[in-house]
Chains A and B, each alone.
Chain A
Amino acid sequence: MNEFLNFAGRYKILSYVSCLLSALSALAAVLSLWYVWNIASCIIFSEGKEYISDYALNALIYAVVSVSVYIAGLICAHMAAFRISSNICLSPDVLLVPLKYITCIMPDSYFSFFSSVSLIALLFWSDWRLALVSIAPVVLGFVIMVMTTISGIKKKAAMPQKTSGSVICYTVAVNSAFLFLIAVGIGISRLGVSKEFLKNFMLAVFAAPLLSIRLTHTIRLREHQLELNASLKRIKETLNLKSKEENSL
């Protein structure tokens, strides 16, 4: 990725700005969710009725900030990508790939990564047991995915393809966060339900499905990025080949 950014020249800074904006956007999105959770915990215990409209307003402000900052980051990434395209003198077909990749996926990838991190941080801040339980389904799904891929490689030496079986297992594992939450909820509430725990439980209910979506997306984009690196290697080889030909002439 970084090698690739060298093509951007002094516009490299734009891509860093884009990363920063994506991270800020992710943080704002999590803050917005946090305010929504505040509303939920206010109404469930019917207390702090006077704060609810403030919380709702804050949730709105942070959501709008998140969306607009994200779009600003996307535009920055786009400008950096145009610079890359004019700096590499290759045919437009070859250029279109990295160009589109950078513009679309870079802010997306940083956004999902930073929202995963901040959601995990928020969950650990509220209750570490619920945080572990919220991460567990994705870890489980990922382990299943890796295991099936490895056994797939062992069976046939061909390109490891994701089988629909492992995709199904992954889908079920990732979407079973609610089951883990209920089990842990029952386990912890053995000695009576505390108000504090119920509030944290609600936060996990809001955050866990979102966390699994963001983490899955991060992993998927990472795969795409590895694909890009492979094609970048080919671009470089072609460039080297061309310069050798020019030298020999």
Chain B
Amino acid sequence: MHDVWTISETLNGKLKQISFELLARGRKLADDLGVALCSIVIGDGISDEEAQTLAHYGADVVYLANDSGLASFECTRYANVLLSLIETHKPEVILAGATSSGRTLMPYVGIKAHAGLTADCTELAIDEKTKNLLQTRPAIGGNIMATIITPNHRPQMATVRPRSTKILEPDYGRKAVIQYVKYPDKVSVSTISVTGIRPFEGQQSSIDEAEIIVSGGKGLKKKDNVGLIEELAAVLGGEVGATRDAVDRGWISYPHQVGLSGKTVSPKLYLAVGISGAIQHLAGIKTSECIVAINNDEQAHILGLADFAIIGDLFDVVPELTRQLEKRNNA
């Protein structure tokens, strides 16, 4: 049997959190199959020391492709690297993050490798009898969980929802074998080149990896009131999210939209402020660890999914919450 692979992600030479989450998933699968766990790192300027941190979190082997042409994600180039590795080593399983790059690279490579691919899995296991990978994912807006197998094609490929698993306790004594992947020739093949990055406006960053998200909906009434949830998010060290309503009204920009036509998020804490809980919004927050609702309507759908709710006027509750949290932070 061949190995289990994870596709690590890096930013400016440093490994991203999703890389370690994938190792936690992959370690279990590799142990159940009795094979090695390998991690593929494609990027630029990634040191051996940085690559070895993958060993601390479960990797046995690291395939490291450093090249200036691979500094940021570009599908064709990354696919060329990955496809050549697949051809040589024929892995059993490949896991990547259900991220903007993972959800582009994997379907592209899946076709080229004639493999099966399952999107945005939240559970992964090995079938004891058949040794097939059981890939479970929420479907139809999270209303059902579907388990999918790839019985006759290898590798079995899956993208994994970020923040859907905890990383392993690090073992700083573990060492991985680093195999350097040279790729000077085919990198130039792509007709697409990355020219730069434009950061999000203001202080906000992405909600995809946020541990705490404070989201606002129609209940905020107008754009001027978005400041209330921004202040609360800041004091919690979280990010601002929004319903489709709040985005369509121009109160908050689209990268913050949570739900069926926005992002699916899994933070530790999701604080829903003035959000009634349309089914399309709930679909995007179902795998959050804890959901708190602040709403003036005791019948709001959001309460069906919440762990804690305060029924009251958000214009009183939110400033009070911000005030008490500030006091607590300063204590």
Q: Do A and B share a complex?
A: no
